[in-house]
Amino acid sequence: MTGADQPHILVVDDDDRLRDLLTRYLGENGFSVSAARDAAHARASLAGLQFDLIVLDVLMPGEKGVDLARSLRESGSKVPILLLTALSETEDRIAGLEAGVDDYLAKPFEPRELVLRIEAILRRYGEQPEPVEPATEIARSDIVCFGRFSFDLGKMTLQCEGEHVYLTTAEQALLAALIKRRGQTTSREQLHEMISGNAVDPAASRSIDVQVTRLRRKFEEDPKQPRYLQTVRGRGYVLYAD
Average pLDDT across each block of 10 residues of the chain; the chain has 242 residues. List them in order. 73 95 94 95 92 94 93 91 81 84 88 92 66 41 87 89 86 91 90 73 72 91 92 92 82
Residue 12 is classified by DSSP as: E
Q: For residue 230, which amino acid is it? A: Q
pLDDT of residue 139: 43
pLDDT of residue 242: 77
Assess contact for 206 and 90: CB atoms under 8 A: yes
Per-residue b or e along 40-70, where b marks 16 or more CB atoms closer than 10 Å to that residue's CB: ebbeebbeeeebbbbbbbbbbeeebbbebbb
Distance, in Å, from the CA atom of 21 to the CA atom of 140, rounded to the nearest integer, reads 45
End-to-end CA distance of the chain: 43
Distance, in Å, from the CA atom of 220 to the CA atom of 214, rounded to the nearest integer, reads 10
Residue 151's H or E segment, with its range, is strand 149-152
- How far CA 81 is from CA of 57, 77, 138, 196, in Å, comes to 10, 10, 33, 17
* Length of the chain, in residues: 242
pLDDT of residue 234: 87
Q: For residue 58, which amino acid is it? A: V
Assess contact for 77 and 31: CB atoms under 8 A: no
Assess contact for 128 and 78: CB atoms under 8 A: no
pLDDT of residue 57: 94
33 φ, ψ (degrees, to nearest 5): -125, 135
